[in-house]
Amino acid sequence: MKYLSSGPGDRHAMLEEIGVSSIDDLFSSIPRELRHEGPLPVSPALSDPDLEHLLRGWASENLTLESAASFLGAGAYRHYRSPAVDAILTRSEFYTSYTPYQPEISQGTLQSLFEYQTFICMLTEMEVSNASLYDGGSALAEAMLMAHRLRRGACSYVSESVHPNHRQVAATYAQNAGIELRALPRRADGATDPEAVEKSARSGASSIIVQSPNFFGVIEPLEELAAAAHLGGAMLLVSVVEPVSLGLLRGPGHFGADIVTGEGQAFGLPPSFGGPYLGFLACMESAVRALPGRLVGETVDVEGERGYVLTLATREQHIRREKATSNICTNQSLCALALSVQLAALGRHGLPRLARLNAWNARQALARISDIPGIQREFKGPFFNEFVVELPDDAGRVCQALAAEKVLAGVPLGRWWPELNRHLLICATELTRPEEIDRLAQSLHKATVGGDGTGQVEARSERGAI
């Protein structure tokens, strides 16, 4: 298609067609005092080296995860990425590949997705995984729709301790699907109450949705929750937003979960301002016909050689149309490959050691912070690498003060729960160093009590090292 520039006559004809006399009339809704007249107040053009120098100077003023002591988490985690991840991802046969409609020429893509599915099943202790979804929030929402197709309940219940953004995504899906989404309150220890789950399940719910470790970092009593949900006739959906925890904890399938979803960012993907990430979804084989997206299977060809195919693709692009299980039209294949490479690099023994180091550093941080007068842990349930503390002052103001000292102290909870405006969600991973925990403790002491709060964090134990 050729590009044909418009001349004065063309512009006049277009303006006349829409009923205005000049291009300026198109901006009449903007008050004149807000419009800039004349040349823009910018410096003259720079040479390439001068421009690069200027931009690098501006960029150096940004507060980043690399330039600060970061204790941010809440669904986006800073973990070490193996160099093998980018070495594989940047191979052209992977980053330029398209949907593997023709298996005979897509064996590499199909094999990588099959291995991804295998990893997800091993982590979650479920029988079947699809070939990934967009992110953790949409995966949770798709699982809710999947459970509704299987049980046809009148509603679904989601725990208040599930990530607020993911609950919002699920609410949007539920509204458009005609599903009533109701809330499950949290207990004083931050976990979901099994008695409330059983009562809710008996009200005709198709699913009970929880997250473990939940948004507050607390590990949910999944065995009790599964029993309560099943006793009431509902399916239990478990979201795992920090999958590194599965190196230390048993998969939700072990405790009776019916569908397991989650966010795979922690394995091989940087926080990257919120994306691209990938969602995973796994279930028991009995529910596979309700699975959204695609499923890659292993088979043999006419010569008996191993090969890979799309076993199930019940989506609207694959002829199913209105009978499709979901309108999801693709998956996050490249991000799924990153997860597979990272897990392969860690290995069967490396992942548990990584998980233990995360848990160890979080407990070191909590112990150090708990020594500060006026600061105490809010939820007393068992936790993994995140925990909530109550401060003597507004958490948002404290975080702003610490950011000026290049300490990203955590995530204030007041943005979602006004009654928790003095509460801070703090995360530590394997990349959290003892001196960074010291900086956090000293800065918190200075911001809340006064003084420098000097002290030292116990050195990493041998059992915590990777």
The residue out of 342, 359, 386 marking a domain boundary is 342
- CB burial of residue 418 (10 Å; 0-12, 13-18, 19+): exposed
Mapping DSSP to helix (H, G, I), strand (E, B) and coil, where does residue 63 land?
A: coil
Mapping DSSP to helix (H, G, I), strand (E, B) and coil, where does residue 215 land?
A: coil
> So what's the pLDDT on residue 171?
97
**H helix or E strand, kind and range, residue 388:** strand 386-390
Q: CB–CB of 310/99 below 8 Å?
A: no
pLDDT above 80: residue 74: yes
Same domain? For 279 and 168 the reply is: yes
Same domain? For 291 and 246 the reply is: yes
Q: Stretch 398-425: mean pLDDT, rounded?
A: 96
Tens-place pLDDT, residues 338-376? 999 999 999 999 999 999 999 999 999 999 999 999 999
Query: Which has the higher per-residue pLDDT, 43 or 145?
Result: 145
Same domain? For 420 and 333 the reply is: no
User: Does any domain span residue 155?
Assistant: yes
To 10 degrees, what angle do helices 333-370 and 434-448 make? 60
Phi, psi of 129 (to 5 degrees): -130, 145
Looking at residue 417, the DSSP 8-state letter turns out to be -
Tens-place pLDDT, residues 147-173? 999 998 989 999 999 999 999 999 999
Residue 146 φ/ψ region, left for φ over 0, alpha for ψ in the -120 to 50 degree band, beta for the rest: alpha
> So what's the pLDDT on residue 464?
43
Q: Count Cβ neighbours within 10 Å for each residue of 80-111 and write b for 16 or more, e otherwise.
A: ebbeebeebbeeeebeebebbeebeebeebbe
Same domain? For 331 and 353 the reply is: no
CATH number of the domain residue 117 falls in = 3.40.640.10
Q: CB–CB of 355/244 below 8 Å?
A: yes
Q: Stretch 31-48: mean pLDDT, rounded?
A: 88
What number of other Cβ atoms are within 10 A of residue 261's Cβ?
31
First to last CA, the chain: 56
CA separation, residue 391 to residues 366, 370, 451 (Å): 13, 10, 16
Q: Considering its fold, how many domains does the chain have in total? A: 2
The residue out of 319, 342, 365 marking a domain boundary is 342
pLDDT above 80: residue 264: yes
**H helix or E strand, kind and range, residue 29:** none
Amino acid identity for residue 81 in this structure: R
Residue 328 pLDDT level (bands cut at 50, 70, 90): confident
DSSP labels for 352-384? HHHHHHHHHHHHHHHHHHHTSTT-EES--S-BS
Query: Which has the higher per-residue pLDDT, 67 or 122?
Result: 122
Range of the domain at 283: 83-342
User: Does any domain span residue 199?
Assistant: yes
Same domain? For 195 and 259 the reply is: yes
Q: CB–CB of 221/191 below 8 Å?
A: yes
Amino acid identity for residue 334 in this structure: L
Phi, psi of 149 (to 5 degrees): -65, -35
- Spatial distance between the Cα atoms of 206 and 234, rounded to a whole number of angstroms: 5
pLDDT above 70: residue 316: no
To 10 degrees, what angle do helices 222-231 and 194-201 make? 20
Residue 392 pLDDT level (bands cut at 50, 70, 90): very high
- CA-based max dimension of the chain: 78
Q: CB–CB of 337/131 below 8 Å?
A: no
Residue 97 pLDDT level (bands cut at 50, 70, 90): confident
Same domain? For 272 and 317 the reply is: yes
CATH number of the domain residue 405 falls in = 3.90.1150.10
Residue 460 pLDDT level (bands cut at 50, 70, 90): very low
> So what's the pLDDT on residue 37?
84
Mapping DSSP to helix (H, G, I), strand (E, B) and coil, where does residue 137 land?
A: helix
The residue out of 293, 314, 342 marking a domain boundary is 342
Same domain? For 357 and 443 the reply is: yes
User: Does any domain span residue 323?
Assistant: yes
pLDDT above 90: residue 79: yes
> So what's the pLDDT on residue 458?
47
Find the range with the poorest average confidence among 224-238, 284-298, 352-366.
Answer: 284-298
